[in-house]
Chain A
Amino acid sequence: MNGLSAAPQAADYIRILPEIVLTLFGLAIMLVDPLIDEQRGPKLLGWLGLAGALSALAATVYQAWFPGLGFWNMVQVDAFSVFFHLVVIAVTAVTILTSFEYLEIQQIRAGEYYGLILFGAVGMCLMSSAVELVLIFIALEISSISTYILAGFRRRAAISGESSVKYFLLGSFATAFFLYGVALMFGATGSTSMVTIKESLAAGNTSLLVYAGMAFMFVGLGFKVAAAPFHVWTPDVYEGAPAPVTGFMSTAPKAATFAVLLRVLFEINAPGRVWLVWVAAALSMTLGNVGALVQSNIKRLLAYSSIAHAGYLLVAFAALPANGIPAAMFYAASYAAMNVGAFAVVSHFASAGERYVSLDDYAGLGWRSPLLAATLTIFLLSLIGIPMTGGFFAKFYVFSAALQANLTGLVVIGVINSAVGAYYYLRIIVMMYMKEPREETPVAPIPLGLGAALITSLAVTIYLGVLPGRVLEYASRSAADLLR
């Protein structure tokens, strides 16, 4: 307990620099909000939020030069945490860009909105660098509470309130599970520090408590990533939440939670990992895809698709660490890019009051707004997993990692599911290009912010699809860091 007495050093603060930056900008937004006039307010706050995200991005890059533990071994900066910081913050920036137009059209008072997004990002960033279970819990809560509120931000729409309350009630329940798991783990190993737990488990501690603790933690985290059988909340919550927020919720917190899962399952080499993951992955893929087949609302469809994708990603968790970790990281990044992009298109097209979110509203979009439709098509093709898109290599790495661990059965379930999945993504493409519009739904021109958001996510999706080598190599290095 030597470390506790010493005051934090400058190096300690560098280890949480992105979080500090995000918090400061978030606070600044909350402070400035009441001081500026209603008209120009939202835009200005948005720019402030964007500036915060970009500064945090810079802080992360800077932080990458100083890897190591900080704050009495509670946070660890390594290639792994930097990777997930970048994913989370990039998604945050894209979400903010998408929200400019959205808030204006939906006439939502901006204020806390951008602040909450930044605070949520703080929690998510911290989740990827925390190596102490209680801190992970706190980070999880920071991120969750922000998203609970964000989900209910379309205050005038009852469905949004329903979304928020549902998410809050079930979410708190799940976090309780996680906390319970942490407690059991503490009971079994006498510590909440991952390093100590790892040593204890490596020394042959396989008491029942460890298994129970593991299972409880998995339930809590499984809920957050919307993995079956803890996925039931997803469609309702995604449908009701504001579209940019749904895009945010389905990517950033998921990526962060997967980071936690990677640490918990792989770094401390949790016992019973393979079969636990096997079942959850197979269930998520199947239930997600089958559920998506019958949806007529695009947000619900993408919600089920996100359950399926959580399943594909979980396949990597059943593989051997050396292949599984990089595959999972790559998947998280490319899924984030394509899904946040798809939701950006959805939120643009939804128009005032989110009127146009039914699949039928997409009829003929290919001719009324060729650029937007082409963009959405690329994201959907990536979600299907067509070569030359990030989604292809993501699936590819995951499945080949699983094959190297001789999980042929799971891979076969996975590829059959991808074929099933192709159908419902294809339905949207068919709608856009092969159906005549039923009524002339208005399509607004693409504003600057949204354009930037789309170009960013498109560029990442295609980059990962054409030259995946560098990102994968980086992910492999982080995996090596994690397993050391």
Chain B
Amino acid sequence: MAYLDGAILTLVTFLPLAGALLLLVLPRRDREIRFFTLVVTLFAFVLSLHLPVHFHRPQSGFQFELDVPWIPTPNIHYHLGVDGVSMWLVVLTTFLTPLCVLISWKSIHERVKEFFILLLVLETALIGVFVALDLFLFYFFWEATLIPMALLIGMFGHGRRVYAAVKFFLFTMIGSVFMLVAILWLYAHTTPHSFDFVAIQNAVRAGQVPNFLGAAQWLFLGFFIAFAVKVPLFPVHTWLPDAHVEAPTAGSVLLAGVLLKMGTYGMFRFNLGLFPEQARANAGWIMILALIGIIYGALVAMVQPNMKKVIAYSSISHLGFVVLGLFSFTTAGLEGATFVMLAHGVSTGALFMLAGILYERRHTYEIEEFGGLATPLPVYSTFFLFIVLASVGLPLLNGFIGEFLVLSGTFEARPAYSILAATGVIWSACYLLWMYQRVFFGKVTHDVNNTLPDLDFRERTALLPAAAIALVMGVAPLLWLNAIAPAVQTALTPFAQVASKVVSR
């Protein structure tokens, strides 16, 4: 299958878009549209499995590369490639999308065609973000995720959907213009002018970029602001709860599962990759913001009366771990951060699906409205418990590995931070288990809940893969980590040099 290697990323990226274009001309027959989308997304998932199967694990650097000129002025290349980190994020995206299709099967019954077109376009844009190695292309996909996501929230969301959609769009848009300036600056100051990530990285490391030292701090911030909004890092996180609560289930799943990872991935790739010295210099306040995010997110999650808000704030808390790990500049920290990204994608994605399933039955997310659900919904509550345990970091499930690695990595770098962050693990157990207790245990408090139907075949099919993967990731993390490790090592090489420079001074 080696002949696929050059084209595989293009295929995986654009297959959903091709599906969307086909949908555009298909007649409005809802059932067929759903099946068609499911087939397309499954096919994309199977295709994307080519990546981990044929990935040369010990090898560092980018693989499955494709680099062809696209626009001569400015010098834009269609340059794709993945390393161990971005490869898994691509697979995460293609893994979650079919589940999104399944979970939206019934809940979306109006404008079905538009919904699935937007979903497919969104998938293409998300994959594109992770595979693009040309800064322009990256920015393009980055911005391209905005429109379908905002439309999904705004057209198919709940009560205050328009407010949430506009807020989401503006936060991200304003954040990313700073990145655009930084990208343009880099382009203008490399000779020959280039958007190529590898070329710019080499030029920066070789000191061939004029005025780089003076501008580097600003460039670092330009990228960082865009990514921090997306993560979201405290204090620019306020769009996230709104977006999550109002979004349709599939939107929430992709938002938490993948969109937030665009931010942390960006930090890994660009902030660490291009500006190691500035990353080190700024690590202090960034880690503090991450810590605030972990603890503040958890505390706020605890008092939310709305299930989706609990999960939304838990995302802020979990993503804090990722940022903390990234800016610890230790092997364990970075590997852990990447692993948390994947684990959080699976388990939080599943949590949102579960919340959505309940919403379909009762049209509310208020925790008060439930109670004692374990009696009428045994299968549902089992799934829920399993995912909650995965999310709080029970050993042998996926949440544990990542957080443990992050904490041990952070402990190497800054022990005090690690200790504080460790409380976040406790908090997360508190708010999730407490929510679980209130929703599922005890007597049934509202009579309507007695008659709720348990999971049907379709819903089980949507949840089972997520649960299974959560278990496999917890039992055999090396399957993932052995591809992540070389990428992390590559990313950390300049930090060893920076550190030795500091010491020799």
CB contacts (< 8 Å) of A426 on chain B: these are 166, 169-170
Please tell me if the beta carbons of B71 and A387 are within 8 angstroms of each other in the complex. Answer: no
CB contacts (< 8 Å) of B169 on chain A: these are 422, 426
User: Does A399 sit within 8 A of B, measured CB to CB?
Assistant: yes
CB contacts (< 8 Å) of A23 on chain B: these are none
Complex Cα distance A427/B167, Å? 11
Given A404-B188, A430-B166, CB of A469 within 8 Å of CB of B73: yes
Interface size class of A (residues with CB under 8 A): 20 to 34
Please tell me if the beta carbons of A396 and B151 are within 8 angstroms of each other in the complex. Answer: no
Complex Cα distance A435/B140, Å? 28
B115-150 interface bits toward A, Cβ cutoff 8 Å, 1 = contact, 0 = none = 000000000000000000000000110011011000
Min CB–CB distance B330 → chain A (angstroms): 35
User: Does B260 sit within 8 A of A, measured CB to CB?
Assistant: no
Given A419-B173, A434-B162, A434-B165, CB of A396 within 8 Å of CB of B181: no
B70-97 interface bits toward A, Cβ cutoff 8 Å, 1 = contact, 0 = none = 0111100000000000000000000000
Please tell me if the beta carbons of A415 and B177 are within 8 angstroms of each other in the complex. Answer: yes
Complex Cα distance A467/B76, Å? 11
A23-66 interface bits toward B, Cβ cutoff 8 Å, 1 = contact, 0 = none = 00000000000000000000000000000000000000000000
Instruction: Mark out the residues of chain A between 246 and 263 whose CB falls within 8 Å of any chain B CB in the assembled complex.
Output: none
Min CB–CB distance A247 → chain B (angstroms): 25
Mostly, the B contact residues are helix
Please tell me if the beta carbons of B165 and A399 are within 8 angstroms of each other in the complex. Answer: no
Give the nearest-CB partner of B111 in chain A: A367
User: Does B419 sit within 8 A of A, measured CB to CB?
Assistant: no
User: Does B420 sit within 8 A of A, measured CB to CB?
Assistant: no
Please tell me if the beta carbons of B188 and A400 are within 8 angstroms of each other in the complex. Answer: yes
A387 contact from B139, B154, B187, Cβ within 8 A = B139
Given A434-B161, A469-B73, CB of A415 within 8 Å of CB of B140: no
Please tell me if the beta carbons of B177 and A400 are within 8 angstroms of each other in the complex. Answer: no
Please tell me if the beta carbons of B188 and A403 are within 8 angstroms of each other in the complex. Answer: yes
Min CB–CB distance A65 → chain B (angstroms): 25
Give the nearest-CB partner of B215 in chain A: A408
User: Does B178 sit within 8 A of A, measured CB to CB?
Assistant: yes
Give the nearest-CB partner of A386 in chain B: B143
CB contacts (< 8 Å) of B173 on chain A: these are 419, 422
CB contacts (< 8 Å) of A387 on chain B: these are 139-140, 143-144
CB contacts (< 8 Å) of B181 on chain A: these are 399, 403, 408, 411-412, 415
User: Does B213 sit within 8 A of A, measured CB to CB?
Assistant: no
CB contacts (< 8 Å) of B139 on chain A: these are 387
Given A387-B140, A430-B154, A430-B166, CB of A469 within 8 Å of CB of B72: yes
CB contacts (< 8 Å) of B73 on chain A: these are 469, 472-473, 476
Give the nearest-CB partner of A412 in chain B: B181
Give the nearest-CB partner of B151 in chain A: A433
User: Does A146 sit within 8 A of B, measured CB to CB?
Assistant: no
A462-484 interface bits toward B, Cβ cutoff 8 Å, 1 = contact, 0 = none = 00000111001100100000000
User: Does A13 sit within 8 A of B, measured CB to CB?
Assistant: no
Give the nearest-CB partner of A384 in chain B: B173
Complex Cα distance A119/B364, Å? 64
Please tell me if the beta carbons of B178 and A415 are within 8 angstroms of each other in the complex. Answer: yes
CB contacts (< 8 Å) of B165 on chain A: these are 430, 434
CB contacts (< 8 Å) of B185 on chain A: these are 403, 408
Please tell me if the beta carbons of B184 and A435 are within 8 angstroms of each other in the complex. Answer: no
Complex Cα distance A60/B170, Å? 43
Min CB–CB distance A237 → chain B (angstroms): 30
- Apart from A422-B173, A467-B71, A469-B73, 18 more pairs, CB < 8 Å: A386-B146, A387-B143, A399-B184, A403-B181, A408-B181, A412-B181, A415-B177, A415-B178, A415-B180, A423-B166, A426-B166, A430-B154, A433-B155, A434-B162, A434-B165, A468-B71, A473-B73, A476-B73
Q: Can you identify 13 A-B contacts, CB atoms within 8 angstroms? A: A388-B140, A396-B74, A412-B181, A415-B177, A418-B177, A422-B169, A426-B166, A430-B154, A430-B162, A430-B165, A435-B162, A468-B71, A469-B72
Q: Which residues of B contact A (CB under 8 A)?
A: 71-74, 139-140, 143-144, 146-147, 151, 154-155, 161-162, 165-166, 169-170, 173-174, 177-178, 180-181, 184-185, 187-188
